[in-house]
Amino acid sequence: MIISPLRLRLDGDALVSNWRTLAAMSGGAACGAAVKANGYGLGAREVVQRLAGAGCRDFFVATWREAAGLADLGVSVSVLHGLREEDLPVAVGAATIRPVLNTVQQVQRWRDAGGRACDVMVDTGMNRLGIAPEDVSTGLLDGLEVETLMSHLASADEDVPLNRLQRDRFAALAGKSGARRMSLANSAGIGLGQGYAFDLTRPGIALYGGIPARAFAGPIRQVVTPEVQVLQRRRVAAGQSVGYNATWTAAADTEVAILNLGYADGYLRCFSDKGSAIASGFRMPVIGRVSMDLTAIDASAVPDLAEGDWVAIDYALPEAAVLSGMSQYELLTALGARYDRMWY
């Protein structure tokens, strides 16, 4: 195995601690985990193993391809995008994986396949996925073995009337679907209070260190830190420029380090002249354009930083989101395949 010049430093204790925090905030409701998009970029299998060890029993992915990658772990997985015709051969035989049925057609498809336990998504106002509340009250699900009836909040990270409206529409379905449990809240929804928790919560971003609302800022810990190696150190004379299109010019002689990191690694060009790296406790700003595979930093603050040394990329999610204009979700899921993923 060749050691990659980029790695994600992943804090397993922080991940578990975040889940416990969210579970406590969920009150009497069980707390699951959204692990779609490869566990938001961290590696779904490792996330599932750690959280299952801590007591998490309900996992959520987007597709059957993602679910199949977790099947041997023996945990309960719900597939949020439901059930296509193409999924049936895998779906009917997968004992621990349930489709989250989203449309009348998906419900029919699952019935025709002799479907066992499933979950159902009902749309309470986001107008993305889900059957209509009226479909539930008029008997569409009769006879179906529904484990969890779900809905999803459109604006849980904001204080807007739509939250209460969606919650009330969802609560009105209690006892009408035959579902064993009801589930509404994502990470931000947990922060809205226990009136939103129902029987099961489904956090994603906050597990991984995202701060969807102020209430999370204290207890939620950072989980992901990209670390990359220095490829070259050079002195750039005053008046010389660095990088593509020469967007940065040295005002004085400057010590520059070139990092093995670029936009192909999810370190997008919006970090040009804005991001920073850290070594020995000192901050080193990104200078010039981020390239596909390379980024330059002003290394003046760390005189002994040399070729082959590792630096940490400043990746505190709320701050990095403000700086880059990307969402905390994008910051995580953009982290690509070139990183070694190292759990500590």
Nearer to ligand PLP, 56 or 188 (CB): 188
Residue nearer to ligand PLP on the CB measure, 206 or 236: 206
Would you count residue 204 as binding ligand PLP (CB under 6 A)?
yes
The answer to whether residues 344 and 9 touch, using CB atoms and an 8 Å cutoff, is yes
Stretch that binds ligand PLP, among 139-147, 199-207, 273-281, 298-306 (CB under 6 A): 199-207
Shortest spacing between CB 294 and ligand PLP, in angstroms: 31
Between 100 and 257, name the residue whose CB sits nearer to ligand PLP: 100
Q: Are 31 and 60 in contact (CB under 8 A)?
A: no
- Report whether 292 belongs to an annotated binding site: yes
Q: Which residue, among 250, 248, 227, 225, has the nearest Cα to 237 in the 3D structure?
A: 250
Does 187 sit near ligand PLP (CB under 6 A)?
yes
202 is a site residue for ligand PLP (CB under 6 A): yes
Beta strand spans in 51-144 (E): 58-61, 76-79, 97-101, 118-121
Beta bridge partners of 166: none
Instruction: Note whether 178 and 149 are within 8 A (CB).
Output: no
152 binds ligand PLP (CB under 6 A): yes
Other Cβ atoms within 10 Å of 13 Cβ, number: 12
User: Distance between CA 135 and CA 143 in Å, rounded?
Assistant: 14
For the record, the structure tokens of 216 come out as: 């999370």
Q: Judged by CB under 6 A, does residue 186 bind ligand PLP?
A: yes
Total site size for ligand PLP, rule CB under 6 A: 11
133 binds ligand PLP (CB under 6 A): no
> What are the residues whose beta carbons fall under 8 Å from the beta carbon of 6, sequence distance 6 or more?
226, 227, 228, 229, 260, 261, 265, 338, 339, 340
Cβ 147 to ligand PLP, closest distance in Å? 15
Distance between CA atoms of 130 and 152, rounded to whole angstroms? 9
Binding residue for ligand PLP, selected from 203, 243, 266, 275, defined by CB under 6 A: 203
Q: Which stretch binds ligand PLP (CB under 6 A): 12-20, 82-90, 186-194, 302-310?
A: 186-194
Q: Which residues form the catalytic set?
A: 36, 244
Q: Output 248 or 329, the one with its CB closest to ligand PLP.
A: 329
Confirm or reject binding of residue 102 to ligand PLP (CB under 6 A).
no
Binding residues among 38-97 for ligand PLP as defined by CB under 6 A? 80
Decide if residue 118 touches ligand PLP (CB under 6 A).
no
34 scored as a contact of ligand PLP (CB under 6 A) = yes
- Rounded to 5 degrees, φ, ψ at 61 are -125, 175
326 is in an annotated binding site: no
Report 234-293 residues binding ligand PLP (CB under 6 A): none
DSSP string, 129-142: S-B-HHHHHTTTTT
Residue pair 266/299 in contact (Cβ under 8 Å)? The answer is no
The site for ligand PLP (CB under 6 A) is made up of: 34, 36, 80, 152, 186-188, 202-205
Residues annotated in a binding site for substrate: 128, 292
